A = this chain, B = another copy of it.
Amino acid sequence: MIVVLKPNTPSQTENEFIDHLKSLGFNVHISHGIDHTILGLIGDTSRIQPESFIVYDFVDNVMRVQAPYKMASRSFHPDNTSIQIGEGLPNVLPCTIGDGNIVVIAGPCSIESEEQLISIAQEVKKSGARLLRGGAFKPRTSPYSFQGLGSKGIELLLSAKKATGLPVVTELMSITQLDLFNDIDVIQIGARNMQNFDLLKELGGCKNTILLKRGLANTVKELLMSAEYIMAAGNSNVILCERGIRTFDSYTRNTLDLSAVPFLKRESHLPVVVDPSHACGMSWMVPTLAASSLVAGADGIMIEVHNKPECALCDGEQSLTPAQFDTVMSRLKKYAAVEDKTL
């Protein structure tokens, strides 16, 4: 960490401050510039917030040198992380994500009925999806919208898992729901909960894999810090998910920030997936964004599929039909083949 002092800071003030920094346990390198004194702190600065120095009115600026995350960082864990999902469970088709293993996740936005879910599950499985998604607890902007089937939805999802052998992923919205999630292979933490720190800490004690969605207006570094929360609390099976960010333009539901894929894969060892459905919010654009995301290096793509989008209880406008999904999978396989990969 580097602390820059303002011009004309009195020597005494400077010395007292340097003593204070040493008392915090740092070595301090001092560099007197033309106008500014620059102090380099040598030591573990991850517990220090730059703001704690900016409070001094003689401090001009502070810059971190070390990233504030460790466990999520490739500096500390140079090898790619791969996560086994559904391993060792009877009648479940396990899969691996990360380190070259690409997984496509598909299913409806929300679970509506057993028949709907199992029908979609069978179709997407045939097309090559390896995980089934479906929402039981739905985050809805309006209190008057369909909120999901709740625990009944979880039951139906597990029943589809049994019927097809596909591992499942679904969103957890509150700690109080956690005990329903024992057999859920991947717990999704939604964009609006990316900085629900209490929830993240709780997930540290879970054995489930966590799929962590980037918040609407969270930086990629904040995403990594949220992953750090989960890992520091004890659970290292974290998958990062880019799902579009909020910007000034609204011709798409969110703005897919595709650069996040190469950046996160370079900065972190964790698998990175993309949700093009929520990113653009328009079914016609999903195939294009799915292909681009794969080519950008994503370890996985998550696509909403519904057998009758115009009847979907939510997000129908961004859902693909099983036939459209099958077409997308064919296209994704070709692109994966260019890099000698398979889905």
Chain A residues near B (Cβ < 8 Å): 2, 4, 7, 29, 31, 33-36, 38, 40, 42-44, 46-47, 49, 51-52, 54-57, 60-61, 63, 65-66, 68-69, 75, 137, 139-145, 147, 173-176, 192-193, 195-201, 216-222, 225, 228-229, 232-233, 245-252, 255-259, 261-263, 266, 279-285, 288-289, 291-293, 295-297, 309-310, 312, 314-319, 334-335, 338
Q: When the two chains form their complex, are residues B285 and A292 in contact, meaning their CB atoms are under 8 A apart?
A: no
Q: When the two chains form their complex, are residues B263 and A251 in contact, meaning their CB atoms are under 8 A apart?
A: yes
User: A140 to B339, alpha carbons, bound, how many Å?
Assistant: 39
User: A263 to B55, alpha carbons, bound, how many Å?
Assistant: 17
- Of the residues B31, B196, B252, B312, contact of A40 by C-beta under 8 Å: B31
Q: When the two chains form their complex, are residues B7 and A143 in contact, meaning their CB atoms are under 8 A apart?
A: no
- Of the residues B43, B217, B288, B334, contact of A297 by C-beta under 8 Å: B288
The 8 closest A-B pairs by CB, nearest first: A217-B217, A29-B31, A55-B317, A55-B316, A174-B198, A31-B40, A192-B195, A292-B292
CB distance from A133 to the nearest CB of B (A): 18
CB distance from A265 to the nearest CB of B (A): 9
On chain B, the residues within 8 Å of A289 by CB distance are: 258-259, 262, 296
Known: A51-B316, A145-B47, A338-B334. A249 touches B258 (CB 8 A): no
On chain B, the residues within 8 Å of A334 by CB distance are: 338
CB distance from A116 to the nearest CB of B (A): 16
- Of the residues B49, B217, B229, B285, contact of A314 by C-beta under 8 Å: B49
Q: When the two chains form their complex, are residues A65 and B38 in contact, meaning their CB atoms are under 8 A apart?
A: yes
On chain B, the residues within 8 Å of A217 by CB distance are: 216-217, 246, 248
Known: A29-B38, A55-B283. A65 touches B4 (CB 8 A): yes
How many copies of this chain are found per oligomer?
4
On chain B, the residues within 8 Å of A40 by CB distance are: 31, 33, 38
Q: When the two chains form their complex, are residues B225 and A198 in contact, meaning their CB atoms are under 8 A apart?
A: no
User: A337 to B247, alpha carbons, bound, how many Å?
Assistant: 34
Q: When the two chains form their complex, are residues B291 and A251 in contact, meaning their CB atoms are under 8 A apart?
A: no
Q: When the two chains form their complex, are residues A173 and B192 in contact, meaning their CB atoms are under 8 A apart?
A: no
| 23 A-B residue pairings within 8 Å (CB atoms) | A2-B38, A34-B43, A35-B65, A36-B65, A38-B40, A51-B314, A51-B317, A52-B317, A60-B65, A143-B200, A143-B228, A173-B197, A176-B176, A192-B196, A216-B218, A255-B257, A255-B259, A258-B289, A261-B288, A262-B285, A262-B289, A288-B296, A292-B295
On chain B, the residues within 8 Å of A61 by CB distance are: 63, 65
CB distance from A28 to the nearest CB of B (A): 10
Q: When the two chains form their complex, are residues B310 and A55 in contact, meaning their CB atoms are under 8 A apart?
A: yes
CB distance from A126 to the nearest CB of B (A): 23
Which B-chain residue is minimally distant from A221 (CB atoms)?
Answer: B251
On chain B, the residues within 8 Å of A44 by CB distance are: 34
Q: When the two chains form their complex, are residues A143 and B233 in contact, meaning their CB atoms are under 8 A apart?
A: yes
Known: A198-B173, A255-B257, A259-B285. A55 touches B140 (CB 8 A): no
User: A216 to B216, alpha carbons, bound, how many Å?
Assistant: 9
On chain B, the residues within 8 Å of A285 by CB distance are: 259, 262-263
Known: A174-B175, A248-B219, A251-B221. A310 touches B201 (CB 8 A): no
Q: When the two chains form their complex, are residues B144 and A220 in contact, meaning their CB atoms are under 8 A apart?
A: no
CB distance from A69 to the nearest CB of B (A): 8
